[in-house]
């Protein structure tokens, strides 16, 4: 198709954005040197009467020739290479969260009220206790000894929440949820390894001086004291191992979370 269009002397091509179906066509046409204009399909459905592919092509040709179509925004190739890995990582994180919910439900069905003493079953204490249960440990005191020191609940409270009814079918269900959780954890780690070189390949921008924030209770302290430094946020379980904030400052040239919205 691309070669035929070249033989016809075509230089500019317009095509509606139809999800994944048009991606290959777009890339092939672009690789052959055409000016490809991807347009929103909602703006091209004003053709009266019976619609067919041939009629739509003629309608697109007429609108494009008259300059009535606006091209969609497409990020550069470097961003398009980075974006699938980020989206895939996001799906893995959500699936891992569903596995944690599955584990919590399996515990509740056996009257193990661990969620009453641990706010995050996917943290440090929760997986350690669940893996110990799957390994055959049933003593609430020994299980409570696996608690992280940051857990506000006492060992006695934690041990009391671990007195439940253990059945083979419930343990099997929990084992499946833990294995799925570990699998998605490995997938997330693989996405992180893939993302690092993609981020490093993005060009750096010179830092843009930002206007000082307006004085107020959130920007400056009383009596004109300097702004209090932002608290250092520790990395959580689902965050990437690299410093994403420094990367976005390098790529954008500004600290995006500190930009105030314009009210004008």
- List Cβ neighbours of 165 (8 Å cut-off, separation of 6 or more): 110, 111
SS3 category, 65: helix
What confidence score (pLDDT) does residue 224 get? 46
What confidence score (pLDDT) does residue 210 get? 61
Within 10 A of 192 (CB to CB), how many other CB atoms are there? Answer: 15
Q: What is the DSSP letter of 71?
A: B
Q: How far is CA 89 from the centre of its chain?
A: 6
User: Which residue has 């609108």 as its token pair?
Assistant: 63
Tokens of 245: 């904030």
What confidence score (pLDDT) does residue 261 get? 61
Instruction: Give the span between the Cα atoms of 214 and 81, in whole angstroms.
Output: 38
Q: In Å, how far are 68, 115, 158, 204, 233 from 74, measured between CA atoms?
A: 19, 45, 52, 20, 33
SS3 category, 17: strand
Within 10 A of 149 (CB to CB), how many other CB atoms are there? Answer: 6
Q: Where are the domains of the chain?
A: 2-65, 77-201
In the chain, which residues have pLDDT < 70?
A: 43-51, 208-237, 261-264
For residue range 3-35, what is the model confidence (pLDDT) as tens digits? 999 999 999 999 988 778 888 899 899 999 999
What confidence score (pLDDT) does residue 229 get? 47
Q: What is the DSSP letter of 15?
A: E
Q: In Å, how far are 103, 161, 218, 227, 230 from 223, measured between CA atoms?
A: 52, 50, 13, 11, 19
Handedness of CA 235, 241, 244, 247 (dihedral sign): positive
> What is the rounded radius of gyration, in angstroms, for the C-alpha atoms of the chain?
28
For residue range 212-253, what is the model confidence (pLDDT) as tens digits? 555 544 444 444 444 444 444 455 667 888 888 888 889 888
What confidence score (pLDDT) does residue 243 get? 87
- Overall CATH class of domain 77-201: mainly alpha
């Amino acid at each position: 198709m691309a070669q035929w269009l070249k033989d016809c002397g075509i230089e500019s091509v317009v095509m509606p954005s139809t999800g994944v179906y048009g991606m290959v066509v777009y890339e092939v046409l672009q690789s052959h040197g055409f000016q490809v204009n991807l347009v929103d399909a909602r703006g091209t459905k004003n053709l009266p009467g019976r619609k067919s592919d041939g009629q739509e092509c003629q309608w697109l040709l007429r609108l494009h020739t008259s300059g009535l179509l606006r091209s969609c925004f497409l990020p550069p190739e470097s961003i398009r290479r980075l974006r699938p890995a980020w989206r895939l990582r996001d799906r893995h994180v959500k699936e891992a969260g569903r596995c944690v919910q599955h584990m919590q439900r399996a515990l509740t069905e056996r009257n193990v009220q661990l969620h009453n003493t641990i706010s995050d079953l996917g943290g440090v204490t929760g997986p350690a206790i669940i893996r110990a249960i799957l390994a055959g440990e049933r003593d609430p005191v020994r299980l409570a000894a696996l608690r992280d020191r940051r857990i506000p609940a006492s060992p006695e409270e934690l041990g009391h929440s671990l007195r439940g009814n253990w059945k083979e079918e419930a343990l099997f269900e929990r084992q499946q949820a833990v294995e799925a959780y570990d699998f998605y954890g490995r997938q997330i780690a693989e996405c992180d390894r893939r993302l690092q070189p993609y981020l490093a390949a993005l060009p750096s921008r010179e830092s843009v001086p930002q206007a000082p924030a307006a004085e107020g209770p959130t920007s400056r302290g009383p009596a004109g004291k300097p702004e209090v430094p932002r608290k250092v946020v520790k990395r959580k379980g689902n965050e990437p191992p690299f410093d994403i904030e420094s990367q976005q400052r390098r790529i954008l040239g500004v600290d995006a979370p500190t930009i105030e919205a314009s009210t004008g």
